[in-house]
A and B are shown apart, each in its own frame.
Chain A
Amino acid sequence: MLEDIGNLFHGFAVVAQPYNLVLMVVGIVLGVIVGVLPGLGGANGIAILLPLTFSMSPTSAIIMLSCIYWGALFGGAITSILFNIPGEPWSVATTFDGYPMAQKGKAGEALTAAFTSSFVGALFAVIVITLVAPLVASFALEFGPPEIFSVYFLAFCSFVGLSKEPPFKTIASMMLGFGLGAVGLDQMTGQLRLTFGFESLLNGFDFLIAVIGLFGIGEILLTMEEGLSFRGKTAKLNMKVVLNTWAELPRYWMLSLRSCLIGCWMGISPAGATPASFMSYGIAKRISKRGRFFGTGEIEGVVAPETAAHAAGTSALLPMISLGVPGSPTAAVLLGGLLIWGLQPGPLLFTEQKDFVWGLIASMYMGNIVGLIIVLTCVPMFAAILRIPFSVIAPVILVFCAIGAYTVHNNTFDVVMMVVFGIAGYLMKKTNYPLAPMVLAIVLGDKAEESFRQSLLGSQGSFSVFWSTGLVSAIMTLGLIALFWPIIQNTWVKIFGSAGEPRPAE
């Protein structure tokens, strides 16, 4: 333990070298840009810049690349809040309350809350990594297919029934999402599904394309109809916003702590940042006293998903370092980098490459602090974007959306699909079909299906596998409780009377 702390300080010394500090700032700025551009996520950004790092020392390289990652995590929130366009999959949940806040003229508050929560989440995860890395790695090993399925199950359950729309519209939207998610190659049998012989459909419908279209293009179409201007131009443009929001944030410490825990768990398991953000938002909505106002611009609705997403994104690096299994696409690219630099990810990296590992961990601390400072000082600037006339900014957004959609698979067909999704998103909004369940189903549907079928393959088709160990039983039971929570709550009230706000045990 003491030795670890010594190593960590040694790591800080490595990171604090001027050369590395410059790389860090460059990485954060690039990352924010990459995160802002929808479609061009951290994974693509790192993949593009990876070759530049081959001439650096591995430690400098990982500092720069991981800072791109932190920057992308920060940047994803910006377009979600300002334009309802999630720059990254895990920013989708941030749009639910972030965008309404911006429309109310509270863009500055929403951005500050998002950035600060991201920082808190990441910091919490780094502390977890520093203190209990070996323990955490063995926890990740507990997760076989049934456990992973139960995590997705919990994510779905904690999100179902949150929508204000009629349940049947929610179910229709979710089922459509599952259907779209199933297109392409079936991992389990190696057969093509629902491609109808079209080569363009081989890849299926990428989640990012759907999100850019449904949210981004759909939103622009709506704004065009509503009079060609942004609401929320009144956002205040000074640093006071940051301080005022900070004064408010400590009230939500319980929410933050819970979101941190959810995030770390999802990142390590490794389900990733996207289910973490959805789950955290869903649970926050159920538990919060102001839950029924979620979706209309509640600051808690920004804090919950951002904290969890960042905690997950950060802790996802741990399985990568200690097990060689990436918890996110970005971690996967970094993993490739490790191998090219001649480092072997795995249990021994911690003992054999102390400089590298502790340099990386120290850069997580420093990178997030530097990142927070950079993005917070830019809050007024970001909020000012809303003052640019719609007729100027809308074409720019459309171009970035198209570039983003193209970059996902370097495929022009995806750009066409984006427009189709955009029109679908517009029509769905007009007819009050909720978009979130569809998005959730596209992003998690095929992964849930995969682990579900892996589990059943392993158990020869017996469902008892989902209650076979303490861990999986506990998560499945939590999922069922979350699913039937409204009923449980009603019964509780009937039996015991409405004794204030009933709060579930955590």
Chain B
Amino acid sequence: MSVANKVLTIGTAAIASGAIALSAAPAKAWEPSHPIEIIVPAGTGGGADQMARAVQGIITKHNLSKQSVVVINKSGGAGGEGFLDVKNSKGNDHKLIITLSNLFTTPMATGIPFNWKDLTPVAMMALDEFILWVNAGKPYKTAKDYVDDIKSKPDNTFKMGGTGSKQEDQIITVALEKATGKKMTYIPYKGGGAVAVQLVGNHIDSSVNNPIEAVAHWRAGKLRPLCVFDDKKLDYHDKIAGDLAWDSIPTCKSAGLNVEYLMLRGFFAPPGISNDAVAYYVDLMKKVRETPEWKKLMSDGAFNQSFMTGDEYVKWVAAAEKTHEELMRSAGFLAKTN
């Protein structure tokens, strides 16, 4: 019956959390008094979900917290469900949410009443990179080859596959369209893994998959990375596919495609929680980052390992929101109610 018990614990944890927040003893440093929930505003198996479950596993394995960690997916309305849940859990200091770009894009595209300022920023864990991929069977060896071909053909000849609609992948696609001056046909899929396989099966012409989503197919010689949407090359030197490593991939800028995009993987907490609680979580995440499992996850996924907290983090998020708003506005993705 342990499964049923677990479920009940989750249920009661949600109900009791408000009460316990009030009774926390102020004398010594803040510590969680019951299980910590990590909300994932996306489905199971995606990048955010994987990271949340990795953090959960690391905390459990290394005993970093006296309390256990529970991961809960609330993916409804492109993650809106999860964000609203955390926004409405004011003062609940046993709840965290891991973000992806839908932190900005979901409220902008759907008009749901939510903004990141409704939450308490905790820490940036990493930034996720985006790479332009094509099928290895295609003749394009460089981003320039591909872009030249796009330019030489009529609009909508090329199909770009991506995750979701009016989210990061489509934003990058729109930016690419601007850079090439040609429209592409954007086809949304449910998850990044599916997009990579559609590319292997030649059902689409290119994708902007995160490294971890496509690396297996690259190593198997099915996909080819053309360029990375960052201002510098990836900082990982281990050989992955033949003689190539992540740092062999040129930046898109150097290939004449002036498009940059990085996705936030960070934690936020509900509004109105104490500074002591925030400090506890920042410290916890610092410990997580020190573990070998975390380092392996970072190098497997070729993440940009920026870590930020406090004001620095807030500034970064504010700037990122501005960038997203500009990108979304110019693409016509903003909800009419905004």
> What band does the interface of chain A fall in when counting residues whose beta carbon is under 8 Å from B?
35 or more
- A interface, by DSSP: helix, strand, loop or mixed? helix
Contact A199 B45 (CB under 8 A): no
Is A326 an interface residue, CB under 8 A from the partner? yes
Contacting residues of chain A (324-339) with chain B, CB-CB under 8 angstroms:
324-326, 329, 332-333, 335-337, 339
**B176 at the A interface (CB under 8 A):** no
CB contacts (< 8 Å) of B185 on chain A: these are 457-458, 460
Residues from chain B with Cβ under 8 Å of A317 in the complex = none
Contact indicator B110/A185 (Cβ below 8 Å): yes
Q: Is A227 an interface residue (CB 8 A)?
A: no
Stretch at the interface among A188-196, A245-253, A359-367, A494-502: A188-196
A332 (CB) vs chain B CBs: closest residue: B45
Instruction: Tell whether B125 is near chain A: CB-to-CB under 8 Å.
Output: no
Query: Shortest beta-carbon distance, A429 to chain B, in Å?
Result: 29
Q: Which residues on the B side are within 8 Å of A189 (C-beta)?
A: 165-166
**A340 touching B57, Cβ below 8 Å:** yes
Point out the residue from B193, B197, B201 that lies within 8 Å of A335, measured CB to CB.
Answer: B193
> With an 8 A cutoff between CB atoms, is B273 at the interface?
no
Q: Is A48 an interface residue (CB 8 A)?
A: yes
A185 pairs with B77, CB closer than 8 A: yes
Instruction: Assess whether B4 is in contact with A37, with CB atoms less than 8 Å apart.
Output: yes
Assembled-state Cα–Cα distance A4/B69 (Å): 40
Assess A190 versus B81: contact at CB under 8 Å? Given A144-B203, A332-B43.
Answer: no
- State whether the Cβ of B194 lies closer than 8 Å to any Cβ in chain A: yes
Interface size on B, as a range, is: 35 or more
Give the residues in chain B near A406, CB-CB below 8 Å. Answer: 11
Interface string of B213-248 (1 = CB under 8 A from A): 101110110100000000000000000000000000
In the bound complex, how far is the Cα of B50 from the Cα of A344, in angstroms?
A: 13
Query: Distance (Å) between the CB of A138 and the closest chain B CB?
Result: 9
- Interface centre among B71, B167, B193, by most chain A C-beta atoms within 10 angstroms, is B193
- Complex CA–CA separation, A335 to B216 (angstroms): 13
Q: Say whether A204 faces chain B, with CB atoms less than 8 Å apart.
A: yes
Q: Are A203 and B81 in contact (CB under 8 A)?
A: yes
Question: Complex Cα distance A191/B80, Å?
Answer: 12
Q: Is B92 close to A, CB under 8 A?
A: no
Closest to A33 in B: B3
Q: Is A92 an interface residue (CB 8 A)?
A: no
- B60–A348 contact, CB under 8 A? no
Q: Determine the distance from Cα of A479 to Cα of B61 in the docked complex, in whole angstroms.
A: 51
Interface residues of B in 152-174 (CB under 8 A from A): 156, 159, 164-167, 170
Contact between B112 and A457, CB atoms less than 8 A apart: no
B109 contacts A204, CB within 8 Å? no
Give chain A interface residues in 196-211, CB to chain B under 8 Å: 199, 202-204
B80: chain A residues within 8 A (beta carbon): 185, 199, 202
Does B187 contact A48, Cβ atoms closer than 8 Å? Answer: no
Which chain B residues lie closer than 8 Å to A450 at the CB level?
190
Whether A199 contacts B112 by the Cβ 8 Å rule is yes
A59 to chain B, nearest CB (A): 17
Closest to A52 in B: B60
B265 → chain A closest CB, angstroms: 14
> Which of A188, A323, A325, A344 is close to B165, meaning CB atoms less than 8 Å apart?
A188
Residues of A within 8 Å of B69, CB to CB, are 51
Asked if A409 contacts B74 (CB within 8 A), the reply is yes
In angstroms, Cα B189 to Cα A326, docked, is 14
Within B1-39, which residues are at the interface with A (CB < 8 Å)? 1-4, 6-8, 10-11, 14
Q: Across the interface, do B57 and A54 meet the contact criterion of CB distance under 8 Å?
A: yes
CB contacts (< 8 Å) of B188 on chain A: these are 187-188, 190, 454
Inter-subunit contact B6/A48 (CB<8 Å):
yes
Contact in complex: A202, B84 (CB < 8 Å): yes
A344→B76 CA distance, assembly (Å): 28
CB distance from A56 to the nearest CB of B (A): 11
Binds B, one of A17-25, A39-47, A120-128, A155-163: A39-47
Q: Which residues of B contact A458 (CB under 8 A)?
A: 159, 185, 187, 203-204
Per CB-CB distance, the 5 closest pairs between chain A and chain B, nearest first, are A346-B216, A203-B76, A202-B77, A144-B203, A332-B45
Where the two chains meet, the residues of A that have a C-beta atom closer than 8 Å to any C-beta of B are 30, 33-34, 37, 40, 43, 45, 47-51, 54-55, 140-145, 184-192, 195, 199, 202-204, 319, 323-326, 329, 332-333, 335-337, 339-340, 342, 344-349, 403, 406-407, 409-411, 450, 454, 457-458, 460
16 more A-B residue pairs beyond the given contacts A47-B44, A323-B200, A336-B49, with a C-beta to C-beta distance below 8 A: A50-B53, A141-B200, A189-B166, A190-B164, A192-B110, A199-B80, A199-B84, A202-B76, A323-B197, A324-B213, A325-B194, A325-B196, A339-B50, A339-B300, A340-B54, A454-B189
